Amino acid sequence: MSFRSGQIAVAFSVALAAAAIGGCGSSDQSTSTSMPTANPAPTSGTYAPPAIDPANFVSKVNNPYLPLTPGTTLRYRGVMKNGTTPQTDTFAITHRKKQVMGIGCTVVSDTVTSRGQPVERTFDWFAQDRQGNVWYMGEETQELKHGHFGKMIDSGPAGLNGAQPGIMMEAAPKAGDSYWQFHWPGHALDTAKVLGNGGPINVPYRSFKNTLLTQEQSPLEPGVKDQKWSVPGIGYVKERAAAGTKEQIKLVSVTKR
């Protein structure tokens, strides 16, 4: 389990997190702009790709519920789908940029291990628009061979081969909101819904009084639902399977350098 958009990782090998203020894009965020809003595609009715204008994206990902500061690493621990096999998920926000659809995106290294052995590593791409929405722009997967990570073997950038970006975190989440996170027919059809206030929560890192609760699912994995809790200034602090599996991870540490 990892905090990026769930089904796309399944399409490559197996399925977002954050830190505190930082980077992706092409220009600084502004509270006043004549640029058109980058509206996410609605999840009901016939799918229509979102309108993406590179000029409407900014140089920082500083959405309170999903801030991405280069040099920040978040570590999570929990169990895999069977509910017993331990796993550790290391979410490292790099200083690298990836150009996707004309937008310079923050590259996040997401590594899953179990009992010290590598399981999966992806490099995920995120961007923020001027309205404050954080977009998921795709990923690439690193090959796992003989217990070691090697060359890049899969890539799913938005804008190519029918893949379309989606919202990872809204600028102003409201209970009942639903949106596409990534749309790639035959590979990834990820959606999310804001459930509202997740209440107080305790994780190994610390306790939080107020959280935002969202739920993700995909028609490519019927019966599987994942719930995520996030807090301002940090991002995701917990994820668990609400249906379909017993997978769960919780935030253990946040380091910055």
- DSSP code string of 116-128: TEEEEEEEEEEEE
The more confidently predicted of residues 151 and 104 is 104
Q: Does the pLDDT of residue 20 top 60, yes or no?
A: no
Q: Quick one: which of 107, 101, 222, 115 has its CA closest to 166?
A: 101
60-63 sheet: strands from edge to edge: 22-23, 60-63, 66-67
pLDDT value, residue 155: 73
Boundaries of every domain in the chain: 6-27+43-256
Q: What is the mean pLDDT of the chain?
A: 85
Compute the average pLDDT of residues 164-174: 97
The β-bridge partners of 236 are 230
Task: Give the distance, in angstroms, between the CA of residue 39 and the centroid of all CA atoms in the same chain.
Answer: 18
18 with 66: CB under 8 angstroms? yes
Compute the average pLDDT of residues 169-196: 95
Q: Does the pLDDT of residue 31 top 80, yes or no?
A: no
pLDDT value, residue 145: 79
Q: Report the 10 Å Cβ neighbour count for 252.
A: 16
pLDDT value, residue 194: 97
pLDDT value, residue 244: 79
Predicted TM-score of the model (pTM): 0.84
CATH class of the domain at 6-27+43-256: mainly beta
pLDDT confidence band for 197 (50 / 70 / 90): very high
- Residues 59-116: tens digit of each pLDDT: 999 999 999 999 999 999 999 989 999 999 999 999 999 999 999 999 999 999 999 9
